[in-house]
Amino acid sequence: MDVFQKCFDFEDAEEARRSGFYPYFRSISSGQDPVVIMDGRELVMLGSNNYLGLTSHPEIKEAAIQAVREFGSGTAGSRFLNGTLDIHVQLEEELAHFLGRERALTFSTGFQVNLGTIACLLDRRDMVFLDAYDHACIIDGARLGFGRTVKFRHNDLEDLEHRLEVADTDKGKLIVVDGVFSMEGDLADLPKLVELKKRHGARLMVDDAHAVGVFGKNGRGTPEHFGVEEDVDLIMGTFSKSLAAVGGYIAGEAKVIDWIQHTARPLIFSASPPPASVASVRKALEIIQREPERRQRLWDNTAYMARELKGLGYDTGNADSPVIPLVVGEDMTAFMMTKRLAEEGAFVNPVVSPAVPPGRAMIRTSYMATHTREHLDRALAAFAKVGRELGVIG
């Protein structure tokens, strides 16, 4: 058997390309702004995680440029050896202060944070409890660890409680959830999770990639939003959403972060985040704290779109964030709708099985503080026309 045979047999992507509905790896010829250029046409961008609209902020771009001038384009090594710059340390101190944690540690990507952190915390004496809708990097991190993985039904904390009750009492227990689930846009019930973790002697880690900068009075994410910051043991986040760059971090008690720093293989064996990204995040943190009105504009836009989309007749699930899914049914409907919406001037992302259950394909939409009402109304006109055309709405 040729190890490449599975590659030669794979036809799904080619069939989608032949049908004209292939929706992935689309080439954008502009920045991640409220309006982007694709195939020479302007589209309202409703498929980006640039929630606060900071990726094109002039101060952030200038900070990145200055970092390249001072430090060069790369780090030429891992944090473990030669790749730690003083700006990495400064960023980690600033992140820890912002989040109210003893220490923070940066990784080159958000995926690596969960991969490295979860894997290095789990040995054969441990169990990890995952929400069924947790992000792929959480699942892969659990797979790489030596502990036992237990999944519970999405946001079903009675199911989690049962699984904790029947777990071995002598096992270490780690619960890992998304603060905001990235496809559905709903939130984890952190107060109840805190109650369960205390009752069963577990630790709680929250992937807050889609919440930092967005939720909470000060933008510190879902633990601040729910008032349980002191009871969440580890906070993970990424730089590729509200923080306008690439990379990620884990924050928590100093001794725990020290362990991760010395045992997480994706950290030890990967080149450290480049200077431009580090400088961009530092400036983004400054702006988030300086301009809380950005967060308010984001929520104003989110409330407007949630109301108008429901008014058109769309099923938006249980979304309670700037991620608003539109449930459209079959996978092909999602592909067709993605293409037609682009033709009508709106960029969106399809979410199909196995990422969602069969028959519950979605169009994932997400919003920015920098969208204007004119941008949103243009998109709504496209949603109304295409949704009726495809029979998704009446």
- Residue 327: what are its φ and ψ, rounded to 5°? -75, 120
- Quick one: which of 183, 92, 168, 167 has its CA closest to 132? 183
**Residues tagged active-site:** 182, 210, 241
Q: Where are the beta strands (DSSP E) in 182-267?
A: 203-207, 234-238, 248-252
**Residue 101, Cα to own-chain centre: how many angstroms?**
21
Helix axes 293-312, 275-290, angle to 10 degrees: 90
Report the half-sphere exposure of 162 (CA within 13 A, side-chain side).
7
Core vs surface per residue 133-165: b (16+ CB within 10 A) or e: bbbebbbebbebbebbbbbbebbebeebeebbe
Is the distance from CB of 54 to CB of 242 less than 8 angstroms? Answer: yes
Give the angle 270-48-74 at the CA atoms, nearest 5°.
Answer: 25
- 110 SS3 class: helix
Nearest partner of 179 among 219, 204, 210, judged by Cα: 210
- Whether residue 328 contacts residue 337, with contact meaning beta carbons closer than 8 Å, is answered with yes
Measured between alpha carbons, how far is 135 from 326 in angstroms, rounded to an integer?
Answer: 19
Phi, psi of 245 (to 5 degrees): -150, -145
Neighbours of 281 (CB within 10 A): 31
